[in-house]
Amino acid sequence: MSWYYGASNSKSLGELNCLVNDVILAHNFSKEDFIGFHAAKEANRMDASHPLLNPEETTSPSFKLCNDGWIETSVIISLPCDGVKHTSEADAPKFKVKGLYYRRITEVIRSTLSEPAAEKFHLFPFKTFWKPSPSQPEEHIYSEAYTANYFLQEYEKTLRQRPANQTNSHRIPVVLGIMLWSDSTHLANFGTASLWPIYLYFANQSKYTRAKTSDFAAHHCYVP
């Protein structure tokens, strides 16, 4: 259940390694524990123990995010006080928020490029033109991020900045377009519990693919 809830919606090679190394090969793993196992029953048990879905429960969830590059951290925020004026923000009372999870951008990139969907990424930008008729001039079509002038300029810059000893190498640098989004996510049909995660999209992927929720183009970078 930890692996099921902790992984992203789209399975990757990193998550498969997590299933093998962190679950099946765990020192306390026993196949006898699967006797009588039912996924819906376990999901209900975990919902009942989650403090966000069950306010009467004060303990932490019984599951833990699997090791797919996630890092647990906490942040300290300054709190305003009604009717009290502080000389600086540093003098305001502090509140420590625990249980925040995030992934480094490089970990997200590594995991994404190992997925089958990456085979359709446009790693080499290009321009698209349309010629209405033989007598009319060509028109530059702006449709995808990887056909934009800026994307092409950045790619050409990486080629110019390659070390001299890698000029003739079979390794060719590429440019990945990072698109960060965030939106409130409601956790249940009944209740007020919600999250505000941060998603990462890749501009190398067609916008028609990114817009389809069934393709799971969004990658989680931060989960509060």
134-166, pLDDT tens digit by residue? 999 999 898 999 999 999 999 999 888 887 776
Whether the Cβ atoms of residue 179 and residue 159 lie closer than 8 Å to each other: no
CA 132 to chain centre: 41
Q: Is the dihedral of CA 106, 108, 114, 120 positive or negative?
A: negative
Conformational region of residue 32, where left means phi above 0, alpha means psi within -120 to 50, and beta covers everything else: alpha
Average pLDDT of the residues of the chain:
81
Q: What is the pLDDT of residues 7-44, one digit of tens each?
A: 556 667 777 888 888 888 888 888 888 888 888 888 77
Residue scoring higher pLDDT (89 or 188)? 89
Rounded-to-integer distance, Cα 68 and Cα 7, Å:
7
Which of 123, 126, 120 is CA-nearest to residue 153? 126
What is the Cα gyration radius of the chain?
A: 24
Tokens found for residue 155: 């790619």
- The percent of the chain in helix, strand and coil, each rounded to the nearest 5, is 35, 20, 45
The confidence score (pLDDT) of residue 8 equals 59
Tokens found for residue 174: 């590429």
Residue 207 has pLDDT above 70, yes or no: yes
pTM summary value: 0.61
Q: Give the Cβ contact number of residue 197 at 10 Å.
A: 17
